[in-house]
Structure 1
Amino acid sequence: MSRLIPRRRRRLAAGVVAVSFLAACGGGGSAGGGDESGPIRIGVLSDLGSPAGESIVNAAELAAERINSDGGVHGRDFELVVRDTELNPQEAVAAYQRLGQSDQVAAAVGIRSSGSSFAIMDHLARVQVPFLNTGSATTELADMVSENYDDYKYWFRFMHNSAEIPESIMSFVSDHLQPTYGVERIAIFSEDATWTEEVRQIMRDHIEQDPNLELVAEELFDVQTTNFTPIFQRLLAADPDFIVEVSAHVNSAGYTKQWAALQPAPMGGVAVSQISSTFYDETDGAAAWLFGQHYGFPEVSVTDASADFYESYLAEFGEAPNYTGTYTYEAMMALADSFERMEPGEIGDADALIASLEDLDMTGVLGQWQFQEDHHPVFEGNREQSLMLVQWLPDNQRQVIWPEEVATGEYQPPTWWTGWGQ
């Protein structure tokens, strides 16, 4: 029987790059095959210390605990081997290589940076550890599988991609803000990163194709930026009706405070930091009236498994999961499902796991998971509901505002906003 090491004991000091969270009691064996005994090792790749990175590890831990408490897979427990990518492509490659060469994992999950995922791709065929990517949105990663299956078949995406992320945001602008409030002049405020390129292009195309919308400004910022006041002043001069924000690698608490101080226009979009249940306090309440994209939410049941996952995560870690956490939990459960459909002696065989993942048909927290030929998920019947917009309100309250079928409340413009005929 394996036991979870308490969460407080897994805080890593600077420079430490790996730790096994599950201590196996008795039994030998390898990651798979062999004598078909001992734990099944799963690698977890994450930038430790960041909210999104911590959520990857938390969710993997929660999933492993559940899988093990249910008897494991073919009687074998999951054991997590965590390696710190430091949000650095070179460190990510080194961590992935070590998972395959010395840690002997059967599969790996994680990574929230498209740059780090790209760096790993050319090492997949040599290391041969199936990698379930739970935080990288760039569509080009799936294109690589389509173009060179033999080299890149080890990669699977367990999340939405950059082409899907803008859909709910721009549909909210066109289908709600425009007809309800007369919103027309749109500004894009985005971090300058690989994953945002396609997101911004889709947003620009959407605005161009909507006769009621006009793009009046597009401002990019480096992820090291700390003073956003000049950027917001330029946006203020452009006189937008609404600002679409796009960020993941930067902590948006800093620019949220500066936005609230200048009040250039209402703002919302995709901002990963905003997902944290502590974000309101981090901004000293400046988050009020913002909305951000969430990939599941505690008060919304996309499937029968949704509420149970969020309640369990909140109880275990005292906060809601980041987007990376939800996807990582799904990936871990998909691994358990896939291993269970394999012969016991096939665990540790990369090709057998790939074939089993390609045949996956599992209903999880966010919907029904199946894969296209490029190893991007289908989310059959649940795609729109699993990309929801959540607004912060005063007094640390939140409500789901889009899409309508899962909304728990109506969007509320900032009380300080005098535009839109307020």
Structure 2
Amino acid sequence: MITCQRITIKRGGPMSDEKTMQKNQVSRRRFLQTIGVGAGALTLLNPVGLLRAQADETIRIGVLVPLLLDQGNSANRGAFIAKDEINRSTDKVLGRPLQLITADDQALPQVGAQQFTKLVTDQKALLVTGEFLDEVMLAIMPQIGRLGVPFVNTGSATPQTSQMVKGDYEQFKFYFRVMLNTEVLTEDTVAMAAALLKEKMGLTAMAILAEDGQFGRDYQKFMEEKLPSVGLSVAKGASLRFPLDNRDFGPFLAKITDSNAQAIIIAFAFNSGVGFVIEWASKAAHLPVVGINVAGQAFEYWKDTSGKVSSHLYADAATGATAVTPKTLPFFHSYVKRFKTRPIHPLFTGYTTYDAIYLIKEAIERIGTPPPPASDSSATASYRDQLVDALEKTDYVGTIGRIRFQGKNDRFPHDPMLKDAEGHTLVVPKWVQWLEKNDRGLVWPLSFLPSDVQQKLDEQWKAYRTGYQACSGAASCEAQDLKQLSQGLDTALGDNKETP
């Protein structure tokens, strides 16, 4: 039997050298210049023209990610860890090894659509997983329907994709998502803000700062709609959007500090947020920051921001300190043992893409027969239809929780269920706080923590609330109070932290 080969050309597979990757990176600005415009050259990490025998004896899965971003590299690495674990097992997948073919979408919509087509038509991938930017995922959707190829999304959050499944099931039934969509993320943000910011910390007036991309616009819209329902207000003149490539956050922070905002809710997916964090530390350090900052999930973010990110609270899929399921920490330790270049700890896409490879494996095993030769297009099309049926039956405990997909008539078809029929939580965001000395710790939901730690965290939030009220609006006093909260949470979490 021919074994699965690693792809190691140009932009590098999962073990690529960091300097080589940086040299080949496409600038973030290029994404802005090419939305809806012509795309550049394609880069596949697998040469075209592999022997047909290899294609027939391996199960070929495409991995489509932006390799210029930490999010893309973490996803690719998570996929390769899963693939290697599976291929080392006795049974593999119905006796056949997996082969991954990684393609770089360069964070460009047209490139992503073209790369997806190449993975399917030239590389003969049975199905594809990955993605990150909403704009790229939306550009791929028509090709998914046209080619009839399953796609398991592990990084893009736009709810539009699941609504496309609902609106035209036969066309878009091939699309599935492992992570949560933007509307669900905002609902969770609002619930967290009501319970933590409002009830425990005594803060009720929010500023919103979101990037001006698909994700940021959706997040801002949903936040403005949902915050009032839990007794939280949006400070007048403090719901703001910034350009995707923005670096100067001074004017935005000035508007926020001139308002009555008591905390800032952010939405950063494409923008790294480093400039924001550094300017926040000098101009608005008295305002707690919570929300989505995907780059801020990287362990290197502490160094990127010179430690200024301390006290920020960001949503994540999992951490290396909390056993969300029995599979969370083993994956985390496998990742950090194997990879010594950035990102040295997995971002959310690492967890979700690792899980995606395994649930694809289970779907194939649920069918009971391996895929037909890629040269038999009719049989392959029929098998892909069977894969849709098998994926819809997914009930898989992964690193991020228990993954079951919603039905075609549910609120978000082929997105993860949040709770089962008995009300048990299946998949939920985990709120991770940057602490002192480059530590990160999960602080919400409290149910993931031991009861004694929960009590200690409550004491710290209570102390913050008392101190905040005593400050009577003095920014320097509030900043010191927030710093003390970060230090107190660090101590309260004890060993329940992700450390260097």
Task: Indicate the residue corresponding to 1:254 in structure 2.
Answer: 275
Tell me the alpha carbon deviations over residues 368-418 of structure 1, each in whole angstroms, 9 at most, x when there is no partner.
Answer: 211112211114456576311111112111121111112467377699852
Higher deviation after alignment, 305-314 or 40-49:
305-314
Task: Indicate the residue corresponding to 1:33 in structure 2.
Answer: none
**CA, structure 1 residues 9+230, in 2 after alignment: closer, same or farther (shift >3 Å)?**
closer
1:47 paired residue among 66, 76, 85: 66
Task: Indicate the residue corresponding to 1:88 in structure 2.
Answer: 108
Separation (CA, whole Å) in 1 of partners of 2:141 and 2:370: 27
Higher deviation after alignment, 157-166 or 195-204:
195-204
Query: Contact between 1:73 and 1:336, CA under 8 Å: does it hold in 2?
Result: yes
- The residue type paired with residue 134 of structure 1 is T
Task: Indicate the residue corresponding to 1:350 in structure 2.
Answer: 384
Separation (CA, whole Å) in 2 of partners of 1:204 and 1:136: 21
Q: Within 5 Å, which residues of 2 pair with 1:203-222? A: 203-211=223-231, 213-216=233-236, 217-222=238-243
1:276 paired residue among 285, 291, 298: 298
Q: Within 5 Å, which residues of 2 pair with 1:335-346? A: 335-346=360-371
Query: Contact between 1:385 and 1:406, CA under 8 Å: does it hold in 2?
Result: no
Separation (CA, whole Å) in 2 of partners of 1:243 and 1:380: 29
**CA, structure 1 residues 53+7, in 2 after alignment: closer, same or farther (shift >3 Å)?**
closer
Q: Within 5 Å, which residues of 2 pair with 1:359-374? A: 359-372=393-406, 373=408, 374=413
Post-superposition shift, 1:73?
0.7
Post-superposition shift, 1:9?
4.3
Q: Within 5 Å, which residues of 2 pair with 1:157-172? A: 157-172=177-192
**CA, structure 1 residues 224+76, in 2 after alignment: closer, same or farther (shift >3 Å)?**
same
Query: Contact between 1:42 and 1:105, CA under 8 Å: does it hold in 2?
Result: yes
**CA, structure 1 residues 285+60, in 2 after alignment: closer, same or farther (shift >3 Å)?**
same
- The residue type paired with residue 325 of structure 2 is T
Separation (CA, whole Å) in 1 of partners of 2:43 and 2:232: 51
Separation (CA, whole Å) in 1 of partners of 2:426 and 2:282: 33
Tell me the alpha carbon deviations over residues 110-147 of structure 1, each in whole angstroms, 9 at most, x when there is no partner.
Answer: 11011111111111232222111111111111011111
Task: Indicate the residue corresponding to 1:397 in structure 2.
Answer: 439
Task: Indicate the residue corresponding to 1:296 in structure 2.
Answer: 318
Separation (CA, whole Å) in 2 of partners of 1:18 and 1:138: 26
Higher deviation after alignment, 312-321 or 225-234:
312-321
CA RMSD of aligned residues (A): 2.6
Q: Within 5 Å, which residues of 2 pair with 1:5-404? A: 7-9=14-16, 13=24, 17-20=43-46, 28-30=53-55, 37-71=56-90, 72-211=92-231, 213-216=233-236, 217-263=238-284, 265-318=287-340, 319-346=344-371, 348=380, 349-372=383-406, 373=408, 374-380=413-419, 383=425, 386-404=428-446
**CA, structure 1 residues 290+249, in 2 after alignment: closer, same or farther (shift >3 Å)?**
same
Separation (CA, whole Å) in 2 of partners of 1:143 and 1:306: 30
**CA, structure 1 residues 420+278, in 2 after alignment: closer, same or farther (shift >3 Å)?**
closer
Separation (CA, whole Å) in 2 of partners of 1:346 and 1:397: 45
Post-superposition shift, 1:198?
3.1
Post-superposition shift, 1:244?
0.6
With structure 2 as the length reference, what TM-score do the two structures score? 0.77
Separation (CA, whole Å) in 1 of partners of 2:324 and 2:351: 13
Higher deviation after alignment, 231-240 or 408-417:
408-417
Tell me the alpha carbon deviations over residues 261-305 of structure 1, each in whole angstroms, 9 at most, x when there is no partner.
Answer: 112522121100110011101111111111111111111112111
Query: Contact between 2:417 and 2:427, CA under 8 Å: does it hold in 1?
Result: no
- Partner SS for 1:344: coil
Seq. identity, %: 24
- The residue type paired with residue 395 of structure 1 is K
Task: Indicate the residue corresponding to 1:34 in structure 2.
Answer: none
Post-superposition shift, 1:206?
2.8
Separation (CA, whole Å) in 2 of partners of 1:16 and 1:8: 21
Separation (CA, whole Å) in 2 of partners of 1:9 and 1:211: 49
Gaps of 5+ in 1: 31-36
Task: Indicate the residue corresponding to 1:2 in structure 2.
Answer: 4
Query: Contact between 2:14 and 2:73, CA under 8 Å: does it hold in 1?
Result: no
Separation (CA, whole Å) in 2 of partners of 1:242 and 1:345: 53
Gaps of 5+ in 2: 26-40, 373-379, 469-474, 482-500
**CA, structure 1 residues 421+74, in 2 after alignment: closer, same or farther (shift >3 Å)?**
closer
Query: Contact between 2:208 and 2:240, CA under 8 Å: does it hold in 1?
Result: yes
**CA, structure 1 residues 421+177, in 2 after alignment: closer, same or farther (shift >3 Å)?**
farther
- The residue type paired with residue 81 of structure 2 is L
Post-superposition shift, 1:167?
3.0
Separation (CA, whole Å) in 2 of partners of 1:125 and 1:250: 30
